[in-house]
Structure 1
Amino acid sequence: MANLLVLMSVVGVFCKHNFVHAGFTTTKLGPQPIWNSTHTDKLRQDLLLNYDKFARPAQHYNVTTVRLGFTIRHIELNEFKSSLTVYSWINLSWNDEKLKWNSSNYGDLTALNLADHEIWQPDIFLYNSATSTAITHYGNVHCIVYEDGTVLWVPPAQFTVLCNLNLKYWPFDSQVCKLILGSWTYNGDQIDIELYKNQKEADMDLLVENNEWNIVKTSLTKNMKYYSCCESPYPDVTIELVLDRISPSYKALIVTPAFVIIILILINFWLPPQAGEKIVLNGCTAVIICLFMLYFTQKIPAMGTHTPLIVLFYSSCLYVVGFSMIASVIVIWLSRTKHGSPLPWIIKHPLTGTFGKLLGLGTYIQQSSITSHRITAEEMRDHQVTDFEENNSGDEHHIIKSSTKMPIQHDWILLAAAIDRLSFCFFCFLLLILTIVYSI
């Protein structure tokens, strides 16, 4: 046995001599510091060696308070999808009890930058998100950890929310959209949310303005909600945005043509009753309205409710043009058709009196009375001649009969002009009512 021990020691010395002679050295097992390591390297190793980023950094009976701030960078509103996209910076701050150190042990290092995937983060998500397939809202930026365990994370965020848009007063509408942020899995006994530095309004110092929408008001409020499934409350922060549409260009594109359309409808009734241009004018007005209706279909989504008033106004104007076309056809038919029977006295008498003058029919009344007076005198003279010249009685009677057709035709033109004037008054009243109703 003694000889065996001596032999083993000799073999060990021989092997060690050969390893050293070959250039191999024995190393101590375990983590060794790297060359030129800094206090930051040592602090990272000490903090993250056994760190579990999936465990909330507090005792299960303690609450982790998350302070939330919000900065708006830009907004985009999509009427066809009823969604609002907010480009923002979100400010999140909390205390991590597992990330504390004494700065004197690490060269007075008081802050450390860590990647977002290295440490625990609160699962603050958008409750009313419109993109459920991409629930991660935040960009991959580093966190700043301080020696007392405070973690500050300010990532860029893109939130897309569903909005209940009301386009009734388009293009002079105002919309209200809300962003509801809260923890997805933790209740209020585990994670509580507070407003960062008691922020009541969203910060807009870095806002890049939208060309169509103006943010007139923002508000941040904390809410505590109770659900039927759970006894503990679920806190959230509601960010409300009030948006006003920038509409000066719409006044030139939509409102001004609306007044022109009204004028075109009304001046149609001041054309002469025999003028065929009435049909042309009404047709052109109808085409203009149809073009605007096509423009609205491209600009505004088809909505079951809250139909824009401007769309209803243009569609009503199209009905008005249709009825104006019917009135114009009737007026042209009355004034151009050769009538064999005179205008009934019960209709003609008011038209040639005060009522007709109130309608502005003075010119037509004067023409009708002058023609009637001239024909009556000729008839009397011709009748006297026929007493002495019986041979020519047949020819004179034919002349008198053909001449009496002139006042009959002027009477019907007078009636057509009266219909035009009455239609003008009626459509003025109708368009005034439409303007008042659709502008409120």
Structure 2
Amino acid sequence: MEQEDHMSLNVTSMTVKDLTVLGDHEILVLVYSNGRVFWPPGTFDKTICHCDVTYFPFDTQTCDILLTTWTYGKDDILLLFDSKPIEMGFFLPNGEWEYRKYSTAILDSFWNGVAVRQLKYSFTFRRRPLFHVLISLIPLMLLSFISVITFRLPVESGERIGFCLTNLLAFALYLTLVASYIPTTSYTTSFLCT
């Protein structure tokens, strides 16, 4: 853990940055005439998910967000899901990822010998493959087809070796460009790399 202006904590596949108490002293509380009090704390948390790029660019990723109380046990505070679905009004569509679905679950676990309750939100996203198909796969298939045409050239023309070398250099250059589009991770390797 870092001991600077913020703490960084790794929990399974999620990283929470700027770990603070929920809300701050400037958040207003709404008090209704029937005695009900509504406290809407707001916070922005950044999370990071590990990607499985084995089937890149046709991959689907699931990111888990775990919410838990660290200072109170399961018997001290009760975390419940709201029956309403997650509000997606602030979700902005992305050119690379398409939102598919989400799921929720309540988990009971132990933290330093104390039973705690966790709320788990799982979001599933699918990569939009059109860009990668047009930029990577189709040109590689065309280069492969051109290498087969080499055998159709007459041997007497003397151009077969030059054509093969030019095609080999085009392959090497294009594979370098394709490698720059593949996400880098040490957990999994894309089939395009093999």
- 1:255 matched residue in structure 2: 137
Higher strand share: 2
Maintained 8 Å contact 2:179/2:193 = no
TM-score (structure 1 length as normaliser): 0.38
Check 1:135–1:296 CA distance in 2 against 1; reply closer, same or farther (3 A cut). farther
- 2:109 matched residue in structure 1: 225
TM-score (structure 2 length as normaliser): 0.80
Check 1:144–1:282 CA distance in 2 against 1; reply closer, same or farther (3 A cut). farther
- Which residue among 113, 130, 139 is the counterpart of 2:15? 130
Q: Aligned partners of 1:294, 1:126: CA distance in 2, in Å?
A: 33
Check 1:154–1:138 CA distance in 2 against 1; reply closer, same or farther (3 A cut). closer
Instruction: Kindly indicate whether residue 190 of structure 2 is the aligned counterpart of residue 308 of structure 1.
Output: yes
Maintained 8 Å contact 1:224/1:235 = yes
- Which residue among 65, 89, 98 is the counterpart of 1:179? 65
Per-residue deviation, 1:305: 4.3
Maintained 8 Å contact 2:63/2:123 = yes
One-letter amino acid of the counterpart of residue 105, structure 2: T
Per-residue deviation, 1:143: 2.9
Instruction: Kindly indicate whether residue 183 of structure 2 is the aligned counterpart of residue 298 of structure 1.
Output: no
- 1:158 matched residue in structure 2: 44
SS of the residue corresponding to residue 106 of structure 2 reads strand
One-letter amino acid of the counterpart of residue 39, structure 2: L
Instruction: Kindly indicate whether residue 75 of structure 2 is the aligned counterpart of residue 193 of structure 1.
Output: no
One-letter amino acid of the counterpart of residue 40, structure 2: W
Consecutive unaligned residues in structure 2, runs of 5 or more: 1-8
One-letter amino acid of the counterpart of residue 74, structure 2: G
One-letter amino acid of the counterpart of residue 15, structure 2: A
Q: Aligned partners of 1:308, 1:127: CA distance in 2, in Å?
A: 25
Maintained 8 Å contact 1:167/1:308 = yes
Maintained 8 Å contact 1:223/1:235 = yes
Instruction: Kindly indicate whether residue 98 of structure 2 is the aligned counterpart of residue 211 of structure 1.
Output: no
How do 1:6-405 residues align onto structure 2 when only pairs under 5 Å count? 129-132=14-17, 134-136=18-20, 141-146=27-32, 148-155=35-42, 157-196=43-82, 198-199=83-84, 201-227=85-111, 229-230=112-113, 232-312=114-194
Q: Aligned partners of 1:273, 1:141: CA distance in 2, in Å?
A: 81
Check 1:280–1:131 CA distance in 2 against 1; reply closer, same or farther (3 A cut). farther
One-letter amino acid of the counterpart of residue 62, structure 2: V
Check 1:266–1:305 CA distance in 2 against 1; reply closer, same or farther (3 A cut). farther
Root mean square deviation, CA, Å = 2.6
SS of the residue corresponding to residue 274 of structure 1 reads helix
Q: Aligned partners of 1:152, 1:249: CA distance in 2, in Å?
A: 44
Q: Aligned partners of 2:40, 2:122: CA distance in 1, in Å?
A: 23
Q: Aligned partners of 2:10, 2:183: CA distance in 1, in Å?
A: 26
Maintained 8 Å contact 1:143/1:154 = no
Maintained 8 Å contact 2:29/2:37 = no
One-letter amino acid of the counterpart of residue 295, structure 1: L
Q: Aligned partners of 1:305, 1:195: CA distance in 2, in Å?
A: 33
Check 1:259–1:131 CA distance in 2 against 1; reply closer, same or farther (3 A cut). same
Per-residue deviation, 1:293: 2.5
One-letter amino acid of the counterpart of residue 171, structure 2: I
Report how many residues are paired: 182
One-letter amino acid of the counterpart of residue 211, structure 1: G
Q: Aligned partners of 2:173, 2:189: CA distance in 1, in Å?
A: 18
Q: Aligned partners of 2:130, 2:171: CA distance in 1, in Å?
A: 21
Greater RCO (Cα-Cα under 8 Å, separation 6 or more): 2
Consecutive unaligned residues in structure 1, runs of 5 or more: 1-124, 313-440
* Deviating 4+ runs (over 6 angstroms): none
One-letter amino acid of the counterpart of residue 130, structure 1: T
Q: Aligned partners of 1:305, 1:276: CA distance in 2, in Å?
A: 47
Q: Aligned partners of 2:116, 2:45: CA distance in 1, in Å?
A: 21
Q: Which has the larger radius of gyration?
A: 1
Maintained 8 Å contact 1:138/1:158 = no
Q: Aligned partners of 2:88, 2:149: CA distance in 1, in Å?
A: 51
SS of the residue corresponding to residue 193 of structure 1 reads coil
Maintained 8 Å contact 1:174/1:245 = yes
SS of the residue corresponding to residue 31 of structure 2 reads strand
- 1:37 matched residue in structure 2: none
Check 1:181–1:306 CA distance in 2 against 1; reply closer, same or farther (3 A cut). same
Q: Aligned partners of 1:180, 1:234: CA distance in 2, in Å?
A: 12
Per-residue deviation, 1:270: 1.0
One-letter amino acid of the counterpart of residue 193, structure 2: V
